[in-house]
Chains A and B, each alone.
Chain A
Amino acid sequence: MTLSKKEISILVEIIYSIVFALIFLPYFYENQEKTLILMDGVIEKIFQIIISTVIYFSIAYSVLEVIYKKKETGDERDDMINSKSYKLGYLLYEFSLFIFIGYVCSKFQNKELLNLTGNQELYNSFELTDGGIVFFVLVLLAFTSIIKSLYQFYLYRTV
């Protein structure tokens, strides 16, 4: 199976999204009950994400440029594939927003119900923190990005 430069660059994006999810999401998962200020080493983690992203894409695209010396320009087929995959990404993003709103509403609703029972411990566990919001948004973004890129890759292989 021979892959074109465009297909490999999509695979680079997919690998990044998966690696990002495996390396950095556990940190936000562990700290989702905290607020951002109280998270241990959140600034360092953000710098790690930025620096590792820059290094990863610089190396990946440099290697790609060395392997595929010929410059590939986009044409109408690329535009069609991109519009289809970005449309799917946009729909998933919109759907994710509804899930997010549902998540926030259910948190508040459960909190109110638990308030009536008087169980303080359970009441506190349903606290909506900014750490939780950050984790949820990152999961949705990673999910949307992976599905969009996989669909784009599928279209490049089949259209």
Chain B
Amino acid sequence: MMLKNNLKEIRQKNGFTQEELGTDVGVSRQTIISIERYRYKPTLELAMKLAEKLNIKIEKLFYFDKE
């Protein structure tokens, strides 16, 4: 099972750039890029901050790809 996310789509829908979202949750633009590309799995704290900022439930933002 691979941990995936809808961060890119939801971020774009909310009108945030990677830089803006990163600044708001206290991480770099590179960290946001890495999460969107599934290269980096964020900590629970960062995942919750992202969900809160994007006003979405955490399980909608991050999910397991069972294939």
- Contact mask A72-100 → B, CB, 8 Å, 1/0? 11011110100000000000000000000
- Contact mask B26-43 → A, CB, 8 Å, 1/0? 111011001000011011
Give the contacting residue for B28; candidates A77, A80, A158; CB below 8 A: A77
B45 cross-chain contacts in A, Cβ below 8 A = 76
Measured CB to CB, the nearest residue on chain A to B30 is A4
Please determine whether A76 and B39 come into contact, CB atoms closer than 8 angstroms.
no
B3 contacts the other chain (CB 8 A): no
Please determine whether A77 and B34 come into contact, CB atoms closer than 8 angstroms.
yes
Is the interface on chain A under 10, 10 to 19, 20 to 34, or 35 or more residues? Answer: 10 to 19
Residues 136-159 of A at the B interface (beta carbon under 8 Å):
156, 158-159
Q: How far, in whole Å, are A73 and B39 apart by their CA atoms in the complex?
A: 20
Measured CB to CB, the nearest residue on chain B to A72 is B28
B43 cross-chain contacts in A, Cβ below 8 A = 76
B46 contacts the other chain (CB 8 A): yes
Q: How far, in whole Å, are A135 and B58 apart by their CA atoms in the complex?
A: 55
Please determine whether A75 and B39 come into contact, CB atoms closer than 8 angstroms.
no
Contact (A75, B34) CB under 8 Å given A158-B39, A159-B40: no
Q: How far, in whole Å, are A76 and B43 apart by their CA atoms in the complex?
A: 8
Central interface residue in A156, A158, A159, by most chain B CB within 10 Å: A159
Residues 1-36 of B at the A interface (beta carbon under 8 Å):
26-28, 30-31, 34
Residues 1-43 of A at the B interface (beta carbon under 8 Å):
4
Shortest beta-carbon distance, A58 to chain B, in Å? 25
A4 cross-chain contacts in B, Cβ below 8 A = 28, 30
21 intermolecular pairs with C-beta atoms under 8 Å apart: A4-B28, A4-B30, A72-B28, A73-B26, A75-B26, A75-B28, A76-B27, A76-B31, A76-B43, A76-B45, A77-B27, A77-B28, A77-B30, A77-B31, A77-B40, A78-B28, A80-B40, A156-B30, A158-B39, A159-B34, A159-B39
